[in-house]
Amino acid sequence: MRLPVLDLDKITFYYGDRMVLDRVSLTVFSGDFLGIVGPNGSGKSTLLKIIAGLLRPAAGSVRVFGVERENSRRETRIGYVAQNVTSFNQGFPATVEEIVLAGLTASLGLLRRPGRRERLLVEETLESVGLADLRERLIGELSGGQQQRTFIARALVAEPALLLLDEPTVGVDADAKDKFYELLATLRRERGLTLLMVSHDVGVVAEQVQNIACLNGKLYFHGPPAEFRAEDMLCQAYGSAVRILHHGDH
Partner 1 sequence: MTGLFDFWAYTFMQRAYLAGLVVAVLCPTIGIYLVLRRLSMIGEMFAHVSLAGVALGIFTGVYPLATALGFSLGAAAVLETLRRTYRVFTDLAIAIIISAGLSLAVVLIGLSRAFNIDLYSYLFGSVLAISPHDLWLVTAVGLLVVSFSWLFQKELFFIAFDEEAARSSGVAVDLVNLLFVAATALTISVSMRVVGILLVSSLITVPVAAALQLGRSFRITAVLAYIFAGFSVMFGLFVSYHANLAPGGSIVLTAVLIFVLAAGSRKIFPRGGRLHAKNEILRHSENEGLQNHTPAAEDC
Ligand X SMILES: Nc1ncnc2c1ncn2[C@@H]1O[C@H](COP(=O)(O)OP(=O)(O)O)[C@@H](O)[C@H]1O
Please, which residue, 47 or 104, has the CB nearer to Mg ion? 47
Residue 41 in contact with ligand X, rule: CB under 6 A: yes
Contacts of residue 108, Cβ cutoff 8 Å, sequence gap at least 6: 114, 118
From 20, 34, 52, 126, residue interacting with partner 1 (rule: CB under 8 A): 52
3-state secondary structure (DSSP) of residue 6: strand
The least distance separating Mg ion from the CB of residue 107, rounded to whole angstroms, comes to 27
Please give the residue ranges that form the binding site for Mg ion (CB under 5 A). 45, 83
Residue 43 in contact with ligand X, rule: CB under 6 A: yes
Phi, then psi, of 98 in degrees rounded to 5: -60, -40
Residue 67 in contact with partner 1, rule: CB under 8 A: no
Question: In this chain, which stretch among 28-36, 38-46, 99-107, 231-239 interacts with partner 1, using CB under 8 A?
Answer: 99-107
Site for partner 1, residues 182 to 241, rule: CB under 8 A: none
Neighbouring C-beta atoms of residue 143, cutoff 10 Å? 13
Nearest to 138 by CA among 88, 171, 97, 84: 97
Residue 13 in contact with partner 1, rule: CB under 8 A: no
**At 209, which amino acid appears?**
V
What is the distance between the alpha carbons of residues 183 and 98, in angstroms, rounded to a whole number? 21
Distance of CA 107 to the CA centre of its chain: 19
Please, which residue, 43 or 145, has the CB nearer to ligand X? 43
Residue 221 interacts with, from partner 1, Mg ion, ligand X, none (CB under 5-8 Å by kind): none
Nearest to 52 by CA among 25, 84, 82, 30: 82
From 16, 93, 175, 190, residue interacting with partner 1 (rule: CB under 8 A): 93
Distance of CA 157 to the CA centre of its chain: 15
Residue 59 in contact with partner 1, rule: CB under 8 A: no
Cβ atoms of residues 93 and 107 within 8 Å: no
Residue 199 in contact with ligand X, rule: CB under 6 A: no
Residue 92 in contact with ligand X, rule: CB under 6 A: no
What is the distance between the alpha carbons of residues 243 and 211, in angstroms, rounded to a whole number? 18
Neighbouring C-beta atoms of residue 246, cutoff 10 Å? 12
Site for ligand X, residues 1 to 20, rule: CB under 6 A: 15, 20
Q: Which residues bind partner 1 (CB under 8 A)?
A: 49, 52-54, 73-76, 79-80, 82, 85, 88-89, 91-95, 98-99, 101-108, 110-111, 113-114, 136, 138, 141, 151, 154-155, 158
Q: Which residues bind ligand X (CB under 6 A)?
A: 15, 20, 38, 40-46
